[in-house]
Amino acid sequence: MIGLNTKYGSAAEPVARLIEEFHKLPGIGPKSAARLTYHLLRVPESGARSLAEAIIAVKEKIILCSVCQNLTDNDPCVICRDSNRDQSVVCVLEEPLDILAVERTGQFKGLYHVLHGVISPMEGIGPDDLRISELLARLNDDTVKEIILATNPNLEGEATAMYLQRLISPLGIRVTSLARGLPVGGDLEYADEVTLGRAIEGRREV
């Protein structure tokens, strides 16, 4: 196994270790990891401690909302507690980040449900690995009238949406999906507000 000092040249052990940890983050290559590390070396100690404390707080205080499965520090989350939201419409998303993308559009005033992934046989992820049972439990009364399937427009997202549609349609609940203004193969979190807003407005029956 290559040691950190060998892998990162003459970097001191603590520096090499931090570069390695940053490099493990999604979208962070070795050069970006090194830049982040040396930036932290230049900031005051209070800034570094503040970052460390924020990371620890996220791990210690963040839980899943018992209603929508979004990340929250209070249960239920702020969106589920908001009586001004339309309780009859639930938008089903793959990841918590997708909620931020939809909220930025200002077009959706209903509730959410986060699956925490998609069905992907290649990665060994099946329906039981997602938060589908929690979604179905929310449909036991007559409150929810429409489910918007807002999975990403790729193979796994479409397969997951089809699976959910087959489960939900027999319940007599309207099932819709986003209009196809979104690029095929893209992720909702990267869509611009105008495109995503129009996709929500123009949603269609499944």
Taking the domains of the chain in order of start, what are their residue ranges?
4-61, 71-205
Backbone angles phi, psi at 77, to 5 degrees: -70, 170
The whole-number pLDDT of residue 32 equals: 97
Higher-scoring residue by pLDDT: 93, 187: 93
Predicted confidence (pLDDT) per residue in 5-57, tens digit: 556 666 789 999 999 999 999 999 999 999 999 999 999 999 999 999 999 99
- Going by pLDDT thresholds of 50, 70 and 90, the confidence category of residue 155 is confident
Q: For residue 128, which amino acid is it? A: D
Percent of the chain surpassing pLDDT 70: 83
DSSP-derived pairing of the beta strands 110-114 and 146-149: unpaired
In terms of Cβ atoms closer than 10 Å to its own Cβ (0-12, 13-18, 19+), residue 16 is buried
Distance CA 61, CA 71 (A): 10
Q: Please list the residues that pair with 90 across neighbouring strands.
A: 111, 147
- Going by pLDDT thresholds of 50, 70 and 90, the confidence category of residue 200 is confident
Higher-scoring residue by pLDDT: 155, 139: 139
Listed in sequence order, the DSSP H helices in 78-154 are: 78-81, 96-105, 132-137
- Going by pLDDT thresholds of 50, 70 and 90, the confidence category of residue 181 is low
Q: For residue 16, which amino acid is it? A: A
Average pLDDT over the chain, rounded to whole?
A: 89
* pLDDT (average), residues 54-75: 97
pLDDT over 90 at 107, yes or no: no
* Rg from Cα positions in the chain: 21
User: Is the distance from CB of 114 to CB of 95 less than 8 angstroms?
Assistant: yes
CATH number belonging to domain 4-61: 1.10.8.420
Cis ω for the linkage preceding 76 (within 30 of 0): yes
Distance CA 97, CA 72 (A): 12
Task: Considering the domain delimited by 71-205, tell me its CATH architecture.
Answer: 3-Layer(aba) Sandwich (3.40)
The whole-number pLDDT of residue 105 equals: 87
